Every structure is written in C-alpha cells, then in structure tokens.
Amino acid sequence: MRARTIILIVLGGLIVPQILIASRSELSFSQTNSTTPDATAGKRLFERHCALCHGIDGKGGRGPSLHRAHLVHAPDDAALKSLIGDGIPPKMPGAWFLSDEDVANLAAYVRSLSKIPSDPLPGDPVRGESVYAKSGCAGCHIIAGSGFGYGPELTDIGERRSPPYIQQAVVKPAASLPEDFLLVRAIAASGQAVEGIRVNEDTFWIQIKDAKGQFHSLRKQDLKELRKLRGESPMPSYDGILKSSELDDLVAYLASQRGKQ
C-alpha cells in the first residue's frame, strides 16, 4: 500500500507540471493571436507592395481608390485578409509571401483609409452621361448591358480605376492600356488584312476580334505577316475634342459606374 502511494505521488508530481505547461502554452497562444494589428506597420507594407497600383496615398491609380468604407471584394475584415493573401487573378497578385501578422497589419491600414473622405470630383455625372452618349462611347464600350463590346466593359470602371486614371485614358488612351490588351494586325498570304484586339494566342493560332465584333481564328503559318501593335490603341484621343468641363463631367460619370452594389 505504501509503495502504491509513493508511485501515485510521483506520478502526480509529473502530471501537474505538464498541466501547467499546457495552460501556459494556451495562454501564450491566445495572447499572441489577440495582439492588435499595427496599422503603421501595415502602411509600410502598403507603400512597398500596393502603392504601384493603388497610389502611395491609397487614392488609386491602375487600381481603385481605397478611400471608402465599401470595398466590393472585401465586405468584412476576413474577406479583406483573404483578398490580400489570394489576390484577384490575373489583375491583382496575391501576397502569399506575407505572414499572417503582416496581412493583419496591412488590412488594418487599408481599413483606416476608409475614414479618409474621397476627393470630390469637379464634374457632374448626370451631364457626363450626355457627354458619353454624344461622344459615341457606346460604339465601343458596354455599360450595364448597353453598348457594343469592342473595348473594355465599363460597368464597374469606377470600382477598378481611379478618376485620374480614367481621365488619362480618355485624353491619352495609348498611355493607359490594360496589361492584357494588345492590338494586332494580321496579313494573310492573299494580302487580306485583319486588325483588331487579340483574344487568344498560342504557338500555332491567334484569335482576333475586329472593330465590327467579328472573331477571326487564324493559323500563324498561313500568315504573311503578324504585327503586334504594342502601345497602340484603337480609341481616339479626346484631348481638344472635349471641353475641360465636358471632360470633368465624363470622368465623374464613369467614376460613378460601380456595377452591382
């Protein structure tokens, strides 16, 4: 009986410390994960990895402005962290190289930008809709199902692009081409030419969409010439065509296009 009691005392001496160690580990883990995200650290990450598209101050560029409470792809913090990590292929790369703590800090900084009001636009979106119509924009673009889809769809352009970017695209289209946009000109052996936007291309074939909306699938070995018109756009510049006030109105109208809210 005495020997049995000694064994139990020894075992008890081993079990209790293990319980205490486990409790300390759980407490340490809880404290680590309850740390408040550091928006200042997130700002440094933003400037390093995000400013190229969203602007150094988050007001937008190739990517949309983040100075608003409603972010279409990130309605809550969990979705925002997931968006930062996974990205939106192929337009926004994922930050797979960031730690969970970095992602939390970056998300905190992005959320802080929502408290900064957006810069007011000088134009009137109602008048801008009339400018859009009279300038023939619907002949190449679609908004909410209306128009012709030769150029990029503009239904959610206000979500994807900042007002300065939109203005530059109207005034200098070739300077603001989407990354995946390429104008091409293919000449068949017969001399017949097809010019339009590249839709798909592989080693043997190229698909082109022309200004009439027709698709052409061409075998490369049958072509006399295939020219890739890099840095060129079929869209004319409206610099000097639109008055300054009309340009402001058009930009305000396009910036208001945010798709389904």
Q: What is the pLDDT of residue 261?
A: 56
Which segments of the chain have a pLDDT < 50? 1-33
Which ranges of 56-181 would DSSP assign to H, the alpha helix? 77-86, 100-113, 125-134, 157-160, 163-171
Q: Are 23 and 16 in contact (CB under 8 A)?
A: no
Q: Burial level of 243, CB count in 10 A (0-12/13-18/19+)?
A: exposed
Domain containing residue 143: 125-174+236-255
Q: State residue 80's pLDDT score.
A: 93
Q: Is 51 in the same domain as 97?
A: yes
The CATH number assigned to the domain holding 74 equals: 1.10.760.10
Closest by alpha carbon to 103, among 73, 75, 77, 76?
77
The number of domains in the chain is 3
Same-domain pairing of 60 and 169: no
pLDDT at residue 30, rounded to an integer: 39
| Residues 218 and 241 placed together within one structural domain of the fold | no
Q: Is position 260 within any domain?
A: no
For residue 239, give the nearest of 153, 172, 140 by alpha carbon: 172
Contact partners, residue 49, CB within 8 Å, separation at least 6: 95, 98, 106
What pLDDT is stored for residue 51 in this prediction? 93
- Which of 75, 93, 113 terminates a domain? The answer is 113
Supply the pLDDT for residue 16.
41
- Reply yes or no: is the peptide bond before residue 164 cis, omega within 30 of 0: no
Is 245 strand, coil or helix?
helix
pLDDT digits (tens, 9 = 90+) for 229-252: 999 999 999 999 999 999 999 999
Residues 53 and 167 reside in one and the same domain: no
In residues, how long is the chain? 261
Instruction: Please check whether residues 191 and 106 belong to one and the same domain.
Output: no
Q: Read off the pLDDT of residues 181-229 as tens digits, 9 standing for 90 and up.
A: 999 999 999 999 999 999 999 999 999 999 999 999 999 999 999 999 9
CA-nearest of 16, 255, 254 to 138 is 254
**217 and 167 share a domain?**
no
Please enumerate in sequence order all residues whose Cβ is within 8 A of that of 62, keeping only pairs 6 or more positions apart, or say none: 52, 53, 161, 165
Quick one: 165 and 242 in the same domain? yes
Give the tokens for residue 4. 């049995």
**CA–CA separation, 95 and 49 (whole Å):** 8
Kindly tell me the sign of the dihedral angle through the C-alpha atoms of 103, 105, 111, 113.
negative
Give the full edge-to-edge strand order of the sheet including 183-188: 215-219, 205-210, 193-201, 183-188, 223-229
Cβ atoms < 10 Å from Cβ of 68: 15
Residue 157 and residue 246 in one domain? yes
- Same domain (yes/no): 135, 100: no
